[in-house]
Amino acid sequence: MKFYSLLFSILFAINFTIAQDFQKDSIQLKSIYNQVLNEGNVYENLRSLCKDVGHRLSGSPGAAKAVNWGERLLSKYDLDSVWLQELMVPHWVRGDVERLDFISGNKIYKTNCTALGGSVGTNSSVLSGQVVEIHSWKEMEELGNEKISGKLVFLNRPMNPSYITTFHAYGSCVDQRHQGAAEAAKYGAIGVIVRSMTLKFDNNPHTGSMGYKEGIEKIPAVAVSTVDAHNLSEMLKLNPQLVAKMKLNCQTLPDVLSYNVIGEIRGSEFPEKVIVVGGHLDSWDIGEGAHDDGAGVVQSIEVMNLFKKLNIRPKHTVRCILYMNEENGNRGGKTYASFVKNKGEEHIMAIESDRGGFSPRGFSVDGSDSQLAVIQTFENLFEPYQLHLFKKGYGGVDIGPLRDGKICLIGLVPDSQRYFDFHHAPTDVFENVNKRELELGSAALSSIIYLIDKYGFKSTGFNQ
Ligand SMILES: [Zn+2]
């Protein structure tokens, strides 16, 4: 009997500890949420990044300004150290001429177009050719040289609205933007016109990165709005001989020196073990990069601010990284990962916010089953904040190169329905970000970092 009463006491004590921790952690999370919702700087910091700095494509004066902005801001929060990490970045410039007109008989239809990032220009001349509409790679192959050579290829496969997570619709469509020019050039096309990557039917063209292939001619690539794509398709039905005229003066200049911006709070127990939080500082050169990824940048900076304000002294070193060059090269993410490897630093977790400043819904975990299991034990703590997605998935572009079979990579998952309305478009501006949704994302990041810092990935027995 004595044995059973002892066992009971132990079990009771364990339960009590768990309950006490659950309560303590609930209170801590509540104070994080209260702080950011009542006194957070995250929205004002986003305003400043969007309006005082503006867009900031790698290699541009805006990007250099953003580096100074990030360093200055992190330095205000009394962190243990703030530094810049050098890297060379590509330098593509849009130029000041972007024109695409459709000519049908004596009618001229002017489009809203934007060159794709990395595209070559039209050599100061006007590129003119018949348009051939294509919806799949198979169709392109079937038309072949005979029907494509000397023409402008119009890639008009829309994002599939049946996908509930819009990233899936984007993922299964964006190959048109990335590879369209290289694929069409194989068949002798002289240029490509790509339907914008959005589910919205409007007049805004969306830019984004594209690539060429070694040994295949580089031809210009331009995106048109979904309205223009629809209209072009309709015009082609009436007149298959329709001609498009394109003029672009974008070009790629030599690489430029730039920086990742890094700030850290040293760990009190395990300073040699690092937890990373970040977003990317660069943005496309149309709009203000508010959702992509100003939101992730200011949310990550706010994590550091919250830890200091609430006197949370983390056990592990918490490092905030504002990565450069996610959009057209990911050299910031790669440079940071090789720095970590060269130094032999141990990173237990890296989290990224790069899916817009919308209401957070949970976390997608690129890690082991046991790491996911630990994260899932925190689920009830997030219930009051309406976060419910705790499942395996993608972390993020910037943190991807850190993958080493041990680190847990995590992506903050916000509601995705409106992201591609603004993504890489002139409408990705501060005014289109909601203050509370942005703040909630920052509180979610801070909370998961607080919990993983406290419990690590060892089995915690924590299952309240
Ligand atoms: Zn992004």
Contact between 193 and 232 (Cβ < 8 Å): yes
Question: Would you state the pLDDT for residue 9?
Answer: 55
Q: Which two tokens stand for residue 93?
A: 């410039």
Pairing of strands 243-248, 98-104: antiparallel
Residues with Cβ within 8 Å of residue 154, at least 6 apart in sequence: 131, 132, 133, 134, 192, 193, 195, 229, 232, 233, 236, 244
Distance 61 CA to ligand 1 centre (A): 19
Q: Is the pLDDT of residue 207 over 70?
A: yes
Domain identity same for 87 and 100? no
Q: Distance between CA 386 and CA 401 in Å, rounded? A: 31
Distance 292 CA to ligand 1 centre (A): 4
Which of 6 and 196 is assigned the larger pLDDT? 196
Distance 245 CA to ligand 1 centre (A): 31
Q: Choose the final residue of a domain: 230, 249, 268.
A: 249
Domain identity same for 271 and 419? yes
Distance 398 CA to ligand 1 centre (A): 9
Question: Would you state the pLDDT for residue 458?
Answer: 73
Tell me: the pLDDT tens digits for 243-279?
A: 999 999 999 999 999 999 999 999 999 999 999 999 9
Distance 333 CA to ligand 1 centre (A): 12
Q: Is residue 11 part of a domain?
A: no
Read off the pLDDT of each residue in 239-244 and give the average, rounded to a whole number. Answer: 96
Q: Choose the final residue of a domain: 249, 281, 298.
A: 249
> How many structural domains comprise the chain?
2
Domain identity same for 366 and 306? yes
Distance 254 CA to ligand 1 centre (A): 23
Domain identity same for 309 and 431? yes
In this prediction, residue 5 has a pLDDT band, given cuts at 50, 70 and 90, of: low
Domain identity same for 285 and 417? yes
From the CB of residue 350, how many other CB atoms can be counted at a distance below 10 Å? Answer: 30
Contact between 411 and 362 (Cβ < 8 Å): no
Domain identity same for 168 and 232? yes
Q: Is residue 375 part of a domain?
A: yes
Domain identity same for 345 and 261? yes
Q: Is residue 4 part of a domain?
A: no
Domain identity same for 404 and 425? yes
Tell me: the pLDDT tens digits for 277-315?
A: 999 999 999 999 999 999 999 999 999 999 999 999 999
Tell me: the pLDDT tens digits for 136-146?
A: 999 999 999 99
Domain identity same for 104 and 198? yes
Q: What is the SS3 assignment for 218?
A: coil
Q: In this structure, what CATH number is given to the domain that contains residue 365? A: 3.40.630.10
Read off the pLDDT of each residue in 157-174 and give the average, rounded to a whole number. Answer: 97
Q: Distance between CA 113 and CA 106 in Å, rounded? A: 21
Which residues form the domain of 162?
Answer: 95-249
Question: Would you state the pLDDT for residue 19?
Answer: 59
Q: Is the pLDDT of residue 373 over 50?
A: yes
Domain identity same for 222 and 240? yes
Cα torsion 364, 369, 374, 376: sign: positive
Distance 57 CA to ligand 1 centre (A): 12
Strand partners, 191: 152
Question: Would you state the pLDDT for residue 18?
Answer: 55
Question: Would you state the pLDDT for residue 461?
Answer: 41
Domain identity same for 382 and 332? yes
Q: In this structure, what CATH number is given to the domain that contains residue 223? A: 3.50.30.30
Question: Would you state the pLDDT for residue 193?
Answer: 98
Question: Would you state the pLDDT for residue 20?
Answer: 61
Residue with structure tokens 């402008």? 152
What single-letter DSSP state applies at residue 383?
G
Contact between 449 and 277 (Cβ < 8 Å): yes
Distance 289 CA to ligand 1 centre (A): 8
